[in-house]
Structure 1
Amino acid sequence: MAEIRIRNTNERISGEQNVREFLENQEVLYEHWDASKLPAHLQEKFVLSDEEKAEVLSTFNTEITDLAGRRGYKTWDIITLSDATPNLDELLKKFESVHTHTEDEVRAITAGKGIFVIKGTEEVGYFDVELEAGDVISVPERIPHFFTLMDNRQIVAVRLFIETEGWIAHPFEDPAFVK
């Protein structure tokens, strides 16, 4: 279940309803899918063949098509990151810079863990959303944010897009952001 850490106060928010309410107030969509429906042989696997990626997408097809239908997403894929990922540290540097998009950034975590760092309202400032399997988040377009891995450095996630070109980031310089 997702947990939130507000960076300027170190306050933590946990519990699905509390997390959902906080994120809703920040205009961030949060949902939770049943990660236990993922076949056991994929639950802790972070290097996937094309066939295994298709199996993950097939497992969550109902949830993906429902979310896509409600939010206008046209395409989706699987991203896997782990220490086995070639050039992982270079990829993370790209992801770990505060940026925005011209569409929502959506991730449905199917295995592993990750963190979205998001710029909230003026009174909240930046906050971390610590995600695990089953958590689904949609950061609205033009909201400054970035994504990174947690200490285990392993994640599998479904990415959904409106733009068929996929992930396109626009750098956001913010002197208020402190790593």
Structure 2
Amino acid sequence: MAEIRIRNTEERIKGEENVRAFLNQQEVLYEHWDASKLSTELQDKFVLSDEDKAAILSTYESEINDLAGRRGYKTWDIVALSDATPNLDEILKKFEEVHTHTEDEVRAIIAGRGIFIIKGTDDVGYFDVELEAGDVISVPENKPHFFTLMENRQIVAVRLFIEPAGWVAQPFQDPSFQK
């Protein structure tokens, strides 16, 4: 279940309804899918074949179609990252800079853990959203953020797009941001 840490105050927000309410105030969509739907053999697998990816998309087909229909997403794929990923540190460096997109950044976490760092309202500042299997988040277009892995350095996620080109990161310079 997702957990939030507000960076300025170190306050932690736990529990699905509390997380959803806080993120809703920050204009960030949060939902939860049933992580147990995924076959046991795929739940802890972070190097995926094309067949594995197809099985994941098939397992969550109704959830993906529902979210896509409500939000206008037209295409989706699977991203899998772990220490087995070639050049993982270089890939993460690209992710770990505050940026924006011209469309939502959507992740449905299927396995592993990840974290979004998001710029909230002025009274909140930056906050971390720690995600695990079953958590679904959509950071709205033009909202400064970045995504990275947590200490386990393993994640499988469904990414949804309106247009993959709209997901290209636009750097966001913010002197108030501290890693």
- For normalisation by structure 1, the TM-score amounts to 0.99
Structure 2 equivalent of residue 11 of structure 1? 11
Contact preservation (8 Å) 1:74, 1:164? no
Tell whether 2:169 aligns with 1:169.
yes
- RMSD across aligned positions (CA): 0.7
1:131 positional shift: 0.1
Structure 2 equivalent of residue 30 of structure 1? 30
Q: Give distance in 2, aligned partners of 1:95 and 1:30.
A: 21
Letter in 2 for 1:120: G
Q: Give distance in 1, aligned partners of 2:85 and 2:60.
A: 24
Tell whether 2:155 aligns with 1:140.
no
Q: Give distance in 1, aligned partners of 2:174 and 2:155.
A: 27
Contact preservation (8 Å) 2:107, 2:157? yes
Deviant stretches of 4+, over 4 Å: none
1:145 positional shift: 0.1
1:166 positional shift: 6.4
Structure 1 equivalent of residue 20 of structure 2? 20
Within-5 A mapping of 1:1-179? 1-165=1-165, 167-179=167-179
Q: Give distance in 1, aligned partners of 2:41 and 2:165.
A: 31
Q: Give distance in 1, aligned partners of 2:64 and 2:176.
A: 35
Letter in 1 for 2:51: E
Q: Give distance in 2, aligned partners of 1:54 and 1:175.
A: 42
1:47 is paired with a residue of what secondary structure? coil
1:106 is paired with a residue of what secondary structure? strand
1:153 positional shift: 0.2
What do residues 62-113 of structure 1 show as CA deviations (whole Å, max 9, x unaligned)? 0000000000000000000000001100000000000000000000000000
Q: Give distance in 2, aligned partners of 1:80 and 1:32.
A: 19
Q: Report sequence identity in percent.
A: 80
Instruction: Note the residue ranges of structure 2 that are not aligned, 5 or more in a row.
Output: none
Q: Give distance in 2, aligned partners of 1:126 and 1:146.
A: 11
Contact preservation (8 Å) 2:102, 2:166? no
1:165 positional shift: 3.3
2:89 is paired with a residue of what secondary structure? helix
Contact preservation (8 Å) 1:111, 1:133? yes
Letter in 1 for 2:153: R
Q: Number of aligned residue pairs: give it.
A: 179
